[in-house]
């Protein structure tokens, strides 16, 4: 299995980081942000220096769907859970949604 340029592995790492981040925020507060080191390690290991046009198009598609999910989630949080910390919610929701959407996009395309 190649690591460099493996987008499915990157999005899986992103999903796992988002899930761990929820628990680290609730347990450690602001110090839970250190879990983001996993994301940056995954980004460093899997980045491809010259992606092809198909990969760029799929990444644009993933970003579009991720922004839709984040917008809906932030609206729900604003109206139903106003006491929730927006910063933690935004980071966690974006990592989880991007991980799921990205993994499924590269799995079935």
Question: pTM, whole model, 2 decimals?
Answer: 0.92
Does residue 1 surpass a pLDDT of 80?
A: no
Does residue 68 surpass a pLDDT of 90?
A: yes
Does residue 49 surpass a pLDDT of 90?
A: no
Per-chain mean pLDDT for the chain:
94
What does the domain layout of the chain look like in residue ranges?
7-107
pLDDT of 88: 92
Rg (CA), the chain: 15
Angle 71-95-83 from CA coordinates, rounded to 5°? 55
Task: Provide the token pair at 93.
Answer: 């929701």
Q: How confident is the model at residue 22 (pLDDT cuts 50, 70, 90)?
A: very high
pLDDT of 2: 85
pLDDT of 63: 96
Alpha-carbon distance of 24 to 12, in angstroms, equals 18
Alpha-carbon distance of 18 to 35, in angstroms, equals 9
Q: How confident is the model at residue 109 (pLDDT cuts 50, 70, 90)?
A: confident
């Amino acid at each position: 299995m190649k690591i460099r340029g493996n987008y499915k592995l990157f999005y899986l790492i992103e999903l796992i980081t988002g899930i761990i981040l929820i628990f680290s925020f609730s347990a450690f507060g602001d110090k839970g942000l250190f879990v983001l080191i996993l994301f940056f390690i995954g980004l460093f290991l899997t980045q491809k220096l010259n992606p092809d046009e198909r990969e760029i198009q799929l990444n644009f598609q993933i970003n579009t769907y991720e922004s839709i999910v984040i917008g809906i989630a932030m609206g729900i949080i604003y109206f139903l859970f106003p006491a929730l910390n927006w910063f933690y919610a935004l980071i966690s929701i974006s990592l989880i949604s991007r991980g799921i959407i990205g993994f499924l996009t590269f799995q079935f395309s």
